[in-house]
Amino acid sequence: MRCNIKVFKNPWIPNDTNFYVHFAPLPGMKDLCVKDLFSTSGDGWDEGLVKGLLAPSDVRQVLAVPIAHVSLDDCLIWHFSRKGIYEVKSGYLLVTNTLSSIMNEEFLKWVQIGWVWLEGR
C-alpha cells in the first residue's frame, strides 16, 4: 500500500470544519502517513498511537473511520458527493448552500441565472 495521504499535511479527517488535524506534528513526524496509524496487524487503528499524536476531537473522528479489509492505496475523496469525486454540480451545490446561509435570496437568484447561462454554453 502506497502512502499518498500525510497525517499532518493533507485534509483527511472527516469533520465539519477543514478536515485537517488540529495539532502540529511532533519533531520528525511531519511526513507521517495515515497508513502508519494502522495497527501492526492492519485490521484497525493503533489507538495508542492515534491518541498520542492527535487532539481528542480528532481521535474520535479517526477511530470512527472503518479500515478496509483489502489492501488499497489511500486517496483523498470529495466529501460533498456520494461518489467521493469532485464534480462541478457538487461544488455548485456546496457554494449555493453555504451562500444561502449568509446571503440574501436576491443574490442567489443571480447566481442561479449565471449557472443556467453557463450550462447553455
pLDDT tens digits for range 68-121: 776 666 666 677 777 777 788 888 887 777 766 666 666 666 667 766 665 666
Provide mean pLDDT across the span 53-69.
Answer: 87
Q: Phi and psi at residue 72, in whole multiples of 5°?
A: -125, 155
The cell for 23 is 495539532
- pLDDT of the residue at 105: 64
Reply yes or no on whether the pLDDT at 40 is more than 80: yes
- pLDDT of the residue at 59: 93
Within 10 A of 47 (CB to CB), how many other CB atoms are there? 13
- pLDDT of the residue at 48: 95
Mean pLDDT (the chain) is: 79
pTM of the shown model: 0.60
List the domain boundaries for the chain: 1-76, 88-119
Reply yes or no on whether the pLDDT at 12 is more than 80: yes
The cell for 107 is 443574490
- pLDDT of the residue at 85: 78
Contact present, 32 and 6 (Cβ < 8 Å): yes
